[in-house]
């Protein structure tokens, strides 16, 4: 146990790129108990700036995902500062020398944790928001015989060109800091991190959300107050190299980019046999419903449920929209009852 959460040692871990992650580890947390039949396990990967603590906003007593009934495994993504990351890697792979990881690598590591360490051979559900939702798609394609159901919300199976361009913008803002030094900085590039947060805030919510002043629902009197808060969050909580390792994994997101499917996107979609409810936000600026509509058409057992909202991508952030939480719980309950 480290800092109140368990870690699982992966040791030498071969990556999809051909590189090797040395002394790899996954940080995770479990909630509830595995039943005797071992058929109540649910995996929640983490999202881009998330940790297992943030995932706690998606479940609880009396909710669709309830530790009284389900064994919930919340697994931290590579690069989030808890699992193997540039900020905590041993000498030789720390900082800018950290190898590139993909969603395939994340899910293969999670599969190793779930099967070899926890002794679970089947998952009732894999679900998640944003990059965590991308990983739920990845689970469905990578291990189709193991997953009963998936519920990706505000996510995609393959990162779109427009999404890649958005991410290039926030990356460029960070790297423009003159102290960035190609990732070999002596101290965190604070100006770059502030710029990263300020640019990102423009994409996280919709145009209508800003026009109608819905930032006041979060306690901000002005847009500038919101932007300063986003700046401070990135300076206070994130390592620059960690952010960029995850960002690159996001840009490379593609459930077909691996030895199983060899880039055949249609084949990888068709391979997802799990029951799927795909849940986009109607106003998400980088995971738009149209992309999900195309994906669902190629999946064997999937349904598209669009949540109508002005909150954009951040409608799903725990605590932002009670209506979305209820919408999500209804879909989760349906999948878990199947």
Q: Which residues are catalytic?
A: 130, 284, 313
Q: What gap in Å lies between CA 288 and CA 154, rounded to an integer?
A: 8
Q: What gap in Å lies between CA 162 and CA 145, rounded to an integer?
A: 32
In contact, 297 and 171? CB cutoff 8 Å: no
Cα–Cα separations (whole angstroms), residue 308 to 135, 217, 282: 24, 18, 5
**Burial call 104-120: b when 16+ CB within 10 Å, e when fewer:** bbbbbbbbebbeeebeb
| 3-class DSSP state of 94 | coil
Beta strands in 82-211 (DSSP E): 125-129, 149-153
Q: What gap in Å lies between CA 134 and CA 136, rounded to an integer?
A: 5
Helix (H) / strand (E) containing 12: strand 7-14
Residue with tokens 């509830």: 32
Q: Which of 192, 130, 200, 132 is nearest to 167 (CA)?
A: 200
Residue with tokens 């901000």: 220
DSSP letters along 118-152, please?
S----BSEEEEETHHHHHHHHHHHHSTTTBSEEEE
Provide the terminal-to-terminal Cα distance of the chain, rounded to the nearest Å.
35
């Amino acid at each position: 146990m480290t800092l109140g959460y368990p870690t699982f040692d992966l040791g030498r871990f071969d990556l999809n790129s051909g590189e090797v992650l040395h002394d790899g580890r996954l940080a995770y947390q479990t909630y509830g108990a595995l039943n005797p039949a071992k058929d109540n396990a649910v995996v929640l990967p983490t999202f881009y700036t998330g940790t297992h603590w943030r995932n706690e906003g998606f479940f609880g007593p009396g909710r669709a995902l309830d530790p009284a009934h389900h064994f919930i495994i919340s697994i931290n993504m590579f690069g989030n500062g808890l699992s193997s990351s540039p900020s905590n890697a041993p000498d030789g792979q720390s900082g800018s020398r950290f190898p590139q990881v993909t969603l395939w690598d994340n899910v293969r590591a999670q599969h190793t944790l779930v099967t070899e360490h926890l002794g679970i051979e089947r998952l009732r559900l894999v679900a998640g928001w944003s990059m965590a939702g991308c990983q739920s798609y990845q689970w469905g394609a990578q291990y189709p015989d193991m997953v009963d159901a998936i519920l990706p919300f505000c996510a995609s199976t393959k990162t779109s060109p427009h999404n890649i361009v958005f991410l290039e913008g926030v990356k460029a803002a960070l790297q423009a800091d003159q102290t960035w030094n190609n990732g070999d900085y002596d101290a965190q590039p604070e100006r770059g991190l502030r710029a990263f947060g300020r640019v990102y805030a423009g994409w996280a919510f919709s145009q209508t959300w800003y026009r109608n002043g819905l930032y006041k629902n979060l306690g901000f009197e002005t847009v500038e107050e919101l932007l300063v808060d986003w700046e401070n969050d990135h300076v206070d909580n994130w390592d620059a190299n960690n952010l960029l390792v995850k960002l690159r994994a996001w840009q490379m997101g593609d459930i077909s980019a691996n030895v199983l499917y060899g880039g055949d996107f249609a084949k990888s979609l068709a391979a997802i046999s799990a029951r799927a409810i795909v849940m986009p936000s109607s106003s998400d600026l980088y995971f738009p419903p149209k992309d999900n509509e195309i994906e669902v058409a190629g999946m064997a057992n999937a349904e598209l449920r669009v949540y109508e909202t002005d909150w954009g991508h951040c409608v799903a952030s725990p605590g932002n929209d009670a209506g979305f939480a209820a919408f999500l719980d209804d879909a989760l309950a349906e999948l878990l009852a199947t």
